[in-house]
Each structure stands twice: as structure tokens, then as C-alpha cells.
Amino acid sequence: MDAIKTTGLTKKYGRKNALIGVDLTIEPATVFGYLGANGAGKTTTTRILAGLIRPTNGTAVVFGLDAVRDREEMQRRIGYLPGEFVAYRDLTGRNYLTFLANLRGNVDWSIVDDLTGRLGLDLTTRIGDLSHGNRQKLGVVQAFMHQPDLLLLDEPTAGLDPLIQREFLSLVREAANRGQTVFLSSHVLSEVQAVADTIGILHEGHLEVVESVEVLKTQAVRHVDITFLSAPPTDTLRSVAGVKSLEHNAKTVRLTVEGPMAELFQIAAPFGIEQVVSHEPDLEEIFLSYYRGGGDQNVPQPVPQSIA
């Protein structure tokens, strides 16, 4: 059974289209990174999946449960961290988590203790007196503590310091290893790249692409420096399929290459290669290519979108 399946998911706020016909399938025990600029529709998608708002058109199904029709049953299977986490200011962290544990039932408090220890969270302090970062830690704990089948995390590391961000990413990967599914909505590209199995790029309400990080990297534009034993064959290299630009200085050429580089190296090898330095693409470069309008040239866009 799919963890998440959306079909034609559309949401309008008045005349504004927040989501437009989003088709997405996510299998269990995966980490899905949902990328997009502010206003792209990430939070709207997450709130629909959490059963907090209704789509204008289309459907969202979580573990076979419709997010509208079966909302209460579905919500028992999710842990949700909103982009702006708020809680009862007059309660201590411990009182707040105890309240949630009583509502949810079957919460192992040793898991709470482990989470708070790893995140460095003091549960004796009144929530209203916590810093933004510590309130965010509390939000992480309440989402993870009952080990839900699905974690919906909207900008989860906002306000966390770098060391705690690293610990959070470990929690995400451990959750997936236990068989939980993680839907991680973020514009922090490095954190998505660190833990996601697959990413989706959302642009102005449209889901532009869904693909594994590794496949995106192999098909993205990358940069490579090749140093030859003698003068480089610049004209020959410029004619290689996928080479978009070439600069050279003495015996070294710097190439911008789109897609696989096997043909480039096969052609360059007979000329005597001394050194190769490849600058691997990261999600930032891939992500920006879509927002410059170049994504469709680099990455295939399967429909319907599906991840394994």
C-alpha cells in the first residue's frame, strides 16, 4: 500500500492557485524531500496531507485513508510538525508532552527521554519562556515521540543550531530505517540532500519533477577540470555531446557538461590526461535550474510521479 497518493490535487485561495493538479505517489519507509521556494505550495500540500485543510479538487490518500473522509483515523497514523509550531505557553514541556501522550495513547516515555536528551531540551521550563530554537525542539519531539507511520515535517529545522540540525537528520534517517515514511518539506537544500531518497520540486503550484537524488545528479549540469600532458584538444572537446561550455588555460580545460560524462572521457583519454577534478552538482544547482526555467532540459518528468 502506498504511504501517500495524491491525484489531481488542487487548492485555490480565492482566485489564487496554490496547488495545481499534483499527482504524487510515495511508498512506505522512504524519505521524500519536498522542495520549493516560499509560496510554491509546500505548506498547503502538507496541511492537506495532515487533514487540516480540504483540497479544492482532487484527492489525498494516506495509507489508504482519504485525508478528508477518513481524517480522524488517518491523523492517528501521522506525526505533524507545522512550519510555525505553537503550543500552550503556560505549560512546561513535560506537561505538554504528557497531555499529548494521554491523547494519543501507547507512547513509550523512554522514547521521549531519548529524544529530549539527543536534542538537548529541558522539559521543566514553561513553553512561553523557551527560545525559538527550543520551542522547535519541542515540536520535533511531539512529532516523533509516538513513532507514527508517517512524519509530515514542514521546515523542521527552522531555528535549530547546526549541531542539533545534524542530530535531527539522524532522527529522520533512523525513522525511515524503522519503516516509517518521512515527508520533509523544506527550502534548505543541504538537509534534503543529506537524507532524502527522492525529491520533488514544486514551482508555483506545479510539481515539476520527482526523481531520486542520484538520478538528478547524473542528469544535471556539472563542471569538470581536465589537465592534459600537453596542449588540450579544445576543438575536439567542444564537439562532444553534452559539453555546454569550455575554458582553457595552458594545459587545463574547464568544461560545463550536461548529463553523463563517459563519452567525454573516452574521447579525451587518447590525448593523455594528467589529472581530472570533477565538481559534483548538488541540489542547489539542480533546484535553481528549475527556477530559471531550465529544468525540463536536464531532467525527465515522468507522469504520474512515483517514488520507490
Residue 237 maps to which CATH number?
A: 3.30.70.100
- 155 and 260: one domain? no
d(CA 175, CA 146): 11
- Domain contains 44: yes
The number of domains in the chain is: 2
| 160 and 20 part of one domain | yes
**Residues 57, 194 within the same domain:** yes
Residues 140 and 232 in one domain: no
Residues 199 and 75 in one domain: yes
Do residues 29 and 178 both lie within one domain? yes
The angle at the Cα of 141, spanning 138 to 144, to the nearest 5 degrees, equals 150
Asked if residue 238 and residue 92 are part of one domain, the reply reads: no
Counting as low any pLDDT under 70, the low residues of the chain are 218-220, 280-286, 289-308
pLDDT of residue 188: 78
The verdict on 276 and 198 lying in the same domain is no
Evaluate whether residue 308 is within a structural domain. Answer: no
Q: Tell me: do 147 and 234 sit in the same domain.
A: no
For 275, the domain range is 221-280
pTM (two decimals) = 0.79
